[in-house]
Structure 1
Amino acid sequence: MAFLRDETGQVIASVKDLVPILALLLRYRDRKIKMKDLVMRTLKRWISTVKPISTSSEFLAWRQQFLPGRLQLLAWVVLIILILVTMLHLTVTIPSLNASGDPKVAFSADRLRAYLANTISQILSVFVGVLITRSRWIRQSPERVFLLFNALVLLPMQVVAAFRGEVSFDSEIWLIYFAIQAILVPVYWQLHLLSQVVAIGYFVTAFSFGWRDPNVVVPAVYLLFGVYTIFICAVANTGVFLYERSCKRELELRQQLRVFIHAVSHDLRNPILGMTMTLKSFVKPSGESSAIPQELLVQLVASGDRQVELINSLLEAHATEVQGLALHRQPIQLAELVNTTVNDFQPFFQQLKTSVYQTISPNLPPINADSLQLRRVYENLISNALKYNRPSLQLTFAAEVVDSEKLGKWGNRQSASRLQHSPLHWLHCIVTDNGVGMTLQQSKHLFDLYSRGRDQRRSLSLGLGLYMCRQIIAAHGGEIGVISSPDQGATFWFTLPIQT
């Protein structure tokens, strides 16, 4: 047995004694790594939560209409609160302080005059703000009126104090006003922040030049209420930001709903109207029998089948969203499945003069998948490429075995991070075309429910195909995405676990 000895040759411990210590150190290292991964995942989730949503013109128009009304409400609320607080101070607070007999808290004649000057100037300023919010300026530039009203509320007392060589520490007013403003005007968090920085920044600047508030006896009050004010401002701005974000998302969903209803009305109504008009043409007022040509019957049946297929797609999308997708897995060879799918599309390829390059090796390891559902993925990707591109398209099918590090190259670094400790190998499948491509914004939403493809002006389909592709691949434990840019074609990729 091996022993550890010191410089004098004395036996300290055997290697066997160190095994528990080494195991403990390894366990500590593993826990440290897991804790680090947990912190990083939590941080990424928080960052994705606060990530801003793109601002649409519809949201900007809504905010432009929303802000004037809320500014008018804010102005009236502030004016009423100021009047009520002033009456409370004059009738209750100041008499109570004077009755206490303590000269430190009692209001002398000079202090009372200073209080009345500050209060009257502030009430008059807020009243001017009320008049401004009811003028035509608020419709022309509500953002400027917002900043002007903040100046009228927060700066008059500072101006009056500046004439006396003092500064007014309005922490209570700041706390109340910034909270009320965030509740009543929960838009434009940037303007909220700017108004707060101006008010607090003026006080800090004046304070650094030696000006003080004579009503503050204990210097620690500056620090204490300053921290409170900064905390309230941070919470208020966060609330405004999250409210704006939720409004943007709500308007975006409403827009998608309108688009979906329009697509449904087009895809369901027009063929049914065509069938109805065709059948009406064979109706005879005399009640005699009519002979309908066989070719026309075939067209009517095909049209009806398409409507049934469309309705089934809607039901399937809803069921998949609620219950998940049921798979019937079995070992399959990807090359054989792709060859069969491509052969079924040969008439369309010949009609549109599409060149197909199938480079998937038959020697790839088998995958444990549902062949019917995986075939639907390829059918949707092929149909999507033929539908949104010009004739003479080039389609390339490829697949290779990859590890998690190589997955990051295809723009799915999150999945690479998630799968880096997985014992599975992955099959990376690619369908590439040299068509018109798409923008990054279109790529982000291409697999969303009811997304309608690359050229929405040419397409009124319900956009269920690529959504179902994502559901199918996700049910298999993989991921799907697209890499594209305008006029540079598109590369659709998805990953599948390999049966080991």
Structure 2
Amino acid sequence: MIKQLAGKCWAWFKWLVRPSGESIDYLIWRHQFLIKRSRLYMWISLPLFLTAVLLLVVFVHHYPEPPTFPEQSPFSPEMIEEWQTYSRRIVQVHWVAMGFLSLCPVLQRTRWSRRFPALLFLAISWSMTLVPQIVFLGWSAIARPAWEYIFFMQAVLVPVHWRLHLLSQVMSMGFYFCAGLFLILAGIEPGNFDETLTVASVGLNIFNIFWTCLICCLAVALYERLQRSEFESRKHLQMFLHAVTHDLQNPLIGTSIVLQNLLRRDRDADNNVMVSAPKLEQLLAGNARQLQLVQSLLEIHRNETQDLILQPAPLPLAPLVEDVLFDLEEFLKEHQATITNHISDNLPAVDADRTQLARVFSNLISNAVKHNPGKIHLVLNADVICTASRKGLKLKPHRPKQNKPNHSAIAEKWMVRCSVQDNGSGIPPEQCRHLFELYWRNPQTRHSPGLGMGLYLCRQIIAAHGGQIHVSSEVGMGSTFWFTVPLVAHTSPDRKATTAA
């Protein structure tokens, strides 16, 4: 029974110090950061706590009797003796805590502290907060450590892992209030000279401790969130730069090999090199590849520095999709992909830029084909939805209306929801959250062509139209990319037939 309870406590502790939802790279970085900062916290706490103990010894030696004010009456011998006993215990308790704190450098050299730096952090923190309370409780007294000072020092020196800070605070404070409640229920008079268990003192302690812990944990959580965001951005930027260099150097290497082979060949009488048509086509394809990559980079930079310029116009959706599929016909045949198009000719016209919207369809279709095994099947759908109502933002399918007055029509915004569904391998949920981000690329497809910026451009284009884009996917069940574009302002959906495949 005890072994099972200990196992559950250890599992809960590991869950607390290693929560899910964070990347392995970030957890490794935080582990190393926690090791370094815990050592710094320890080596600052040791001289700091030693200085505090020495100052306390000097103070107790200088005041063998309680300090008095002119308007106070002299203390009785019993009160002087109680003051001296309390002072000696204060010094003894702090020396005991200093002894436990001095064991932390020994703990720091063990493999457990390198594997679980959270244990070293808790040992340092509880040496200054929990140990004095435990020793004092043996004398039927309570001790209130300088929590505000210690917790703020932890938040400044070790500004990561707010759950660990919360655990150090809860254990120390929980012991303090449980010990005080035990003394009250047992009818034991606290042995403290300058503090009694009154409602006012307990309430003031709760107020100070609550806000101290809240500020510390909130500061650590915000700092850690910022650090995690910057870490992930740097990692994605590194992956992006790796992809750029990989994709740019391949055509250059190919061109260099072709030129070297040409130089080794015999030259004719005019000292000219004879180049075959396939070789020229290979060189032109490499140059076209480089130009396409550079243009993608320039387009990303332009979209980041200035708004995307659109030229919206009433646009029938079905002919647009047919043109996109015609342009991709050879690409689809090469990858043995098939498409079922359910987009109806009777769909209301959308208010969109033809060129930019065609790029969205082309990117979504080509990405689905490139990042899935051969012989994939795609299904294209489009239907009219309403994205606003009196109750707030929501999506609801369009149903043909009867001739009834609609008093809430002014609050409605009609959109066309387009989707590209495939029966491929699917996308893990942790990757779905980053698909439309800049500098992010699926690590499993780093050798695929392109820079992985197509979905980011799709999001920019759809956002410029006032719509939304998203993906829903399950591993092994395929993926569905959908986006919305607005209808033409004067188009009334109840006068047109719509299709929901």
Deviations 1:277-333 (A, max 9, x none): 212322369892112123322221222112111101011011102212111122111
Q: In structure 1, which of residues 401, 405, 410 is the aligned counterpart of residue 384 of structure 2?
A: 401
Matched, 1:76 2:76: no
CA distance in 2 between counterparts of 1:69 and 1:474 reads: 43
Matched, 1:56 2:56: no
Matched, 1:376 2:365: no
CA distance in 1 between counterparts of 2:91 and 2:333 reads: 89
Shifted more, 235-244 versus 81-90: the winner is 81-90
Deviation at 1:457, TM superposition (A): 5.2
Cα pair distance change 1:66/1:454, threshold 3 Å: closer
**AA aligned opposite 2:275:** I
CA distance in 2 between counterparts of 1:481 and 1:160 reads: 58
Q: How does 1:346-361 map to 2 (within 5 A)?
A: 346-361=329-344
Deviations 1:221-274 (A, max 9, x none): 222122101210111112222222222222212221221121111110011111
Q: How does 1:279-298 map to 2 (within 5 A)?
A: 279-283=259-263, 288-298=271-281
Matched, 1:214 2:193: yes
**AA aligned opposite 2:244:** V
CA distance in 2 between counterparts of 1:460 and 1:93 reads: 76
Q: CA RMSD in A?
A: 2.9
Deviation at 1:460, TM superposition (A): 5.5
Contact 1:325 1:475 in 2 (8 A): yes
Q: In structure 1, which of residues 96, 101, 117 is the aligned counterpart of residue 92 of structure 2?
A: 117
Match of residue 141 from structure 1: 116
Match of residue 494 from structure 2: none
Match of residue 386 from structure 1: 369
Matched, 1:236 2:219: no
Deviation at 1:164, TM superposition (A): 2.1
Matched, 1:367 2:350: yes
Match of residue 182 from structure 1: 155
Q: In structure 1, which of residues 202, 207, 224 is the aligned counterpart of residue 204 of structure 2?
A: 224
Q: In structure 2, which of residues 45, 48, 53 is the aligned counterpart of residue 86 of structure 1?
A: 53
Deviations 1:154-203 (A, max 9, x none): 23322332232221233xx1111111112112223222212211211112
Cα pair distance change 1:155/1:421, threshold 3 Å: farther
Match of residue 169 from structure 1: 144
Deviation at 1:479, TM superposition (A): 0.9
Shifted more, 254-263 versus 241-250: the winner is 241-250
Match of residue 468 from structure 1: 457
Q: Secondary structure at the match of 1:98?
A: coil
Match of residue 67 from structure 2: 98
Contact 1:388 1:455 in 2 (8 A): no
Cα pair distance change 1:58/1:182, threshold 3 Å: same
Contact 1:452 1:459 in 2 (8 A): no
Deviation at 1:94, TM superposition (A): 7.2
User: Looking at both structures, which has the greater relative contact order when contacts are Cα pairs under 8 Å and sequence separation is at least 6?
Assistant: 2
Deviation at 1:68, TM superposition (A): 2.7
Matched, 1:247 2:227: yes
**TM-score, scaled to structure 2:** 0.80
**TM-score, scaled to structure 1:** 0.80
Contact 1:438 1:454 in 2 (8 A): no
CA distance in 1 between counterparts of 2:102 and 2:315 reads: 77
Q: Secondary structure at the match of 2:384?
A: strand
Matched, 1:132 2:115: no
**AA aligned opposite 1:274:** G
Deviation at 1:387, TM superposition (A): 0.9
Q: Secondary structure at the match of 1:192?
A: helix
Deviation at 1:143, TM superposition (A): 2.0
Contact 1:451 1:462 in 2 (8 A): no
Q: How does 1:321-470 map to 2 (within 5 A)?
A: 321-404=304-387, 422-453=411-442, 455-456=444-445, 458-459=447-448, 461-470=450-459
Q: In structure 2, which of residues 466, 483, 489 is the aligned counterpart of residue 494 of structure 1?
A: 483
Match of residue 299 from structure 2: 316
CA distance in 2 between counterparts of 1:498 and 1:94 reads: 85
CA distance in 2 between counterparts of 1:163 and 1:392 reads: 76
CA distance in 2 between counterparts of 1:133 and 1:183 reads: 20
CA distance in 1 between counterparts of 2:418 and 2:116 reads: 53
